[in-house]
Amino acid sequence: TDKQSTDLKTIAARIKSGSITRIVALTGAGISTAAGIPDFRSPTSGLYAKLAPLRLPYPEAIFTISYFTHTPEPFYALARARHPGNLKPTLSHAFLALLAKKGLLQFCFTQNIDGLECDAGVPSEKTLWCHGNWKNQHCHKCHAEYPDELMKKAVRDGEVPYCLDEGCKGAVKPDVVFFGQPLPAEYEEKEKLVADADLMLVMGTSLKVAPVSQLPRKVREGVPRILINRERSGDLGNRPDDVCILGACDDGVKELAEELGWTEELEEFWKT
């Protein structure tokens, strides 16, 4: 649009010339839908559109700690479908890993819990899983650890695992961040990296969930922000230095890679 003072070509040229070196990425469910995990808020395909049979008071209740406390069953009814296993990172994940390999990725904030950025090769010290992970699990009540094997079985069977302490018997929850729970302790410190970024890349998120949704606003004025997403999200597109590539994430990434002259390298990197 005309109020935009920058475009993808200009940004790509600045990356190639070495004047952009501190890229901060922010990702969401949209970068993993092509890997086979539906997102949350897309009108018919998203998880929240499919919850009617579970009779939740509101869709996000399934990930809300106060609700889980008394009704953990809906979460486990869907846990298996949300974690099919053996997923392959998408081209978008590979692009982030390629940025890291080239020393251009300052940091990646992801709201996803599928671990695909890690599988693609983004170093874990450059990643913050803002909404937690599925690697460990604890009783939501007494916080006692719970064995991996029993957790796997519970997810497989769609049954709620309960604390092994007879006196507690609270429902066990993976260490994913539910609504009403704090983000990982590192969040506040890592957030500062955004103000130091010389490019922000926002991919596959509706930016409907705080505080992560506020990260793009922390980018300094005059620093370009690229949105690659099916739809506009947050305030991306409101600043003169914003570039919105609307469409599938993997297509947007291809477009950016093309401008950078990285097309073949990216394809090759993704395959191996």
Which region among 26-34, 138-146, 236-244, 260-268 touches ligand OAD (by CB under 6 A)? Answer: 26-34
Looking at the DSSP bridge assignments, the partners of residue 132 are 176
Residues designated catalytic: 131
C-alpha distances (whole Å) from 109 to each of 105, 182, 193, 194, 239 are 11, 16, 10, 10, 21
CB-nearer residue toward ligand OAD: 41 or 126: 41
Q: Is residue 99 a contact residue for ligand OAD (CB under 6 A)?
A: no
Smallest separation, CB 40 to ligand OAD (Å): 3
Binding-site member from 179, 214, 267, 269 for ligand OAD (CB under 6 A): 179
Q: Is residue 41 a contact residue for ligand OAD (CB under 6 A)?
A: yes
CB-nearer residue toward ligand OAD: 131 or 198: 131
Q: Which residues of 109-118 are buried (b: 16+ CB within 10 A; e: fewer)?
A: bbbbbbbbbb
Going by C-alpha positions, the residue among 43, 116, 50, 95 that lies closest to residue 77 is 50
Going by C-alpha positions, the residue among 173, 215, 159, 206 that lies closest to residue 64 is 173
CB-nearer residue toward ligand OAD: 198 or 244: 244
Where in 152-171 is the site for ligand OAD (CB under 6 A)?
none
CB-nearer residue toward ligand OAD: 127 or 229: 229
Q: How deeply is 138 buried, as exposed, middle or buried, from its count of CB atoms within 10 A (0-12, 13-18, 19+)?
A: middle
Smallest separation, CB 3 to ligand OAD (Å): 22
Q: Is residue 232 a contact residue for ligand OAD (CB under 6 A)?
A: no
Q: Which residue type occupies 61?
A: A
Token code pair at residue 122: 């983004």
**CA-CA-CA-CA dihedral for 133, 134, 137, 139, to nearest 10:** 80
List residues near ligand OAD by CB under 6 A: 28-30, 33-34, 39-42, 46, 60, 63, 111, 131, 177, 179, 204-206, 208-209, 229-231, 233, 248-249
Annotated binding site for NAD(+): 29-33, 39-41, 111-114, 205-206, 229-231, 249
